[in-house]
Amino acid sequence: MCWRCDPGTGNPDLWAIEDLLQAQVQEHLARQKLRRRDILWLGAGLLALPAASWLQGCATVPVSGRSQLMLLTAEEESKMGVAAFAQLRDKEGERGRLLTEQQDPAAHAWVRRVSERIIGVSGLGTRYRWDYMIVDAPKTVNAAAIAGGRIIVYTGILPVARDDAGLATILGHEVGHVMARHTGERYSQDMLAGVAGAVAGIAGASAGVPGDLAAAVVGLGAQVGVLLPYSRKHESEADYIGLILMAKAGYDPREAVGLWQRMSQSGGGRPPEFLSTHPNPDTRIKDLEAWTPQAWQYYQDPARPLPNIR
């Protein structure tokens, strides 16, 4: 999941890893080979549920304790992340934008130092074989971490991070996405939305309504009414988990607000919040301020166990 992937941005770097992950998801769906009969069977089960039950599921998010729907195994999610990371690394290598340790040892030492501390307190240190890359893109203020233990940092975000606490805010947020398995949850939501659209198309065609029109109406409702709000929920949840992680790793959580103020100043126009995959910066800052007293407990007592960890 990436730090700053809002629709309408003109910089393709901001969507690079998202596009590659989506391609992995599409390949996975193609391997499932859902037929018309399968869609109708799944749709019947889906439509039998109350709408509020669609996105409640069988897993619990660490730290936040939220229930989530998960139709993807951790192994499948990890394979997608590792494959997308490898594709991005190859692409950036061909473009000559991979920043090597020989080229900038200080940047690599900085990213490695902070990421190791964040990963160390997350409980994911031994679950994945972590790897990272730094992309030399001074105009791209972005970073990402994805399932499988992969981190991408664009050099444009480093001046905004400014110091270890700022970078810990960013990487804590990103590792929070991985802890919460947001990639797998988004896949699950997309699958449900796709099934709902397919069912609407089949049912609409049977009733004399153009199938494409019926599917489009359902798709728009899912995008604005379900998927975008859940994307914002994921971002807020990653903010919350990341704040706890940075504090537990020994970074002052009060510094997170300063980082987001700098991020807000570095950004351009935004879409309305209800059409954005990320919360409004002001909303984010208010939430971080509200969560800081809880995070402070972990800063004072790093041995304090994280909640909802299995």
Residue positions annotated with a catalytic role: 174
175 with 62: CB under 8 angstroms? Answer: no
Given the structure tokens 């659209």, which residue do they identify?
A: 197
Contacts of 211 (CB under 8 A, 6+ apart): 200, 201, 202, 204, 205
Given the structure tokens 């444009």, which residue do they identify?
A: 156
The CA distance from 156 to 136, in Å, is 8
Q: Is 86 exposed, middle or buried (0-12, 13-18, 19+ CB in 10 A)?
A: middle
The CA distance from 119 to 62, in Å, is 14
CA-only gyration radius of the chain, Å: 20
* Nearest of 78, 69, 278, 75 to residue 185 by alpha carbon: 69
Torsion sign across C-alpha atoms 213, 220, 182, 97: positive
The CA distance from 170 to 265, in Å, is 16
Contacts 24+ apart (CB under 8 A), 161-164: 161/259, 162/259, 162/262, 163/255, 164/110, 164/113, 164/114, 164/251
Decide the pairing of beta strands 67-68 and 59-60: antiparallel
**CA–centroid distance for 250 within its chain:** 24
